[in-house]
Amino acid sequence: MTSANSIDPSGSSMAEIAEEWDSYQEIPAIDEAYEEVLGDQFAGQFSGATPDYLERLAARLGWSAGSRVLDAGCGTGGLTAALAARTGCEAVGLDASPAAVRVARTRLAGRDVAGRVGYAVGDLAAPDFPNGSFDAVLAIGSGYWSDPVVAVRNWRTLLRGERPAVVVVISRVLRPQTPRDAELTLQEGLFEPYPDWEGALDAAGFQVEVRDLTEADAECVERLHAALARRLPQLRAQMGPELGERYVAEVEVLRDEHRAGRMRRTEIVATLPGGPDDR
């Protein structure tokens, strides 16, 4: 889980996103909690995804050796590396946080997949790659930061192949943001009104399929909150009392919204019929 102050969805506040992300990198208690819940390759990064989920997704969309996938908003790169390891594809992670990318590169060193994984710093909504560079764009837990219309327009130029795809996995709290949410720096895009990824993808000519992932996400958030709460003394010491307590409180809000039935996790799979040049 990442957080930021109210971010301009146009993408003009990448520096703010990076600054907030950077403050959460290389905190041992955070890494330990995520490792307990999601596994070592996901340390320090909450996405609600697992390697098994990535493998099933890749099988549905035909990603394999020879495929190239952009992980837009990769954080510390666990998903990027797991995708390459489980599917044989080439994966490139992109994130606004230099600290997150530095951690991702350090963790990748020496791994078997190092030759098929790369990381770059940049705006996930405006990736600086040549047209036709990727078979798919994957954005898990990062679709809060950008205007979907802008992002989809830019991502579409990157796509190639017979079945180019965009996959967005995003959580949504079924109420408006409160002053307490803003105080905790929970991202504005979590709350009503949400970024309309489904509408932007449909308008751009994609065939859109939506699936509900709420049950698995609720279980994950419960376990994550418990793991962080047990480490609250370490978080206070390592991050400072205020930031450590705020970090746990952010996850507690998500846990409570799940318990109240006001939170949904949505998978949006969008494919271009006939390829990226089909209009």
- Looking at mean pLDDT, say which of 19-23, 35-39, 47-51 comes out highest: 35-39
Residue 232 pLDDT > 90, yes or no?
Answer: yes
The answer to whether residue 96 scores a pLDDT higher than 80 is: yes
Judge whether residue 222 has pLDDT over 60. Answer: yes
CA dist., res. 190 & res. 205, Å (int): 25
Q: Is pLDDT at 90 greater than 70 in this prediction?
A: yes
pLDDT tens track for 175-215: 999 999 999 888 889 999 999 999 999 999 999 999 999 99
* Residue 211 host element (H or E): strand 207-212
pLDDT at 267 over 80: yes
Which carries the bigger pLDDT value, residue 155 or residue 184?
A: 155
The SS3 assignment for 97 reads: coil
Percent of the chain with pLDDT over 70: 86
Q: Are 125 and 150 in contact (CB under 8 A)?
A: yes
How high is the pLDDT of residue 100? Answer: 85
More confident residue, 51 or 262: 262
SS3 per residue for 77-91 = CHHHHHHHHHHCCEE
Per-state percent for the chain, helix, strand, coil, to nearest 5: 45, 20, 35
Smallest Cα–Cα separation from 7: which of 129, 142, 99?
Answer: 142
For β-strands 136-140 and 165-176, DSSP reports them as parallel
pLDDT score of 20 more than 70? no
State residue 3's pLDDT score.
32
Q: Which residue has the tokens 């307990």?
A: 36
- Measured CA to CA, the distance from residue 197 to residue 94 in angstroms comes to 19
**CA-CA distance, 127 to 48, in Å (whole number)?**
24
Residue 22's pLDDT band (cuts 50, 70, 90): low
Output the pTM of the full model. 0.88
State the average pLDDT over residues 154-176. Answer: 96
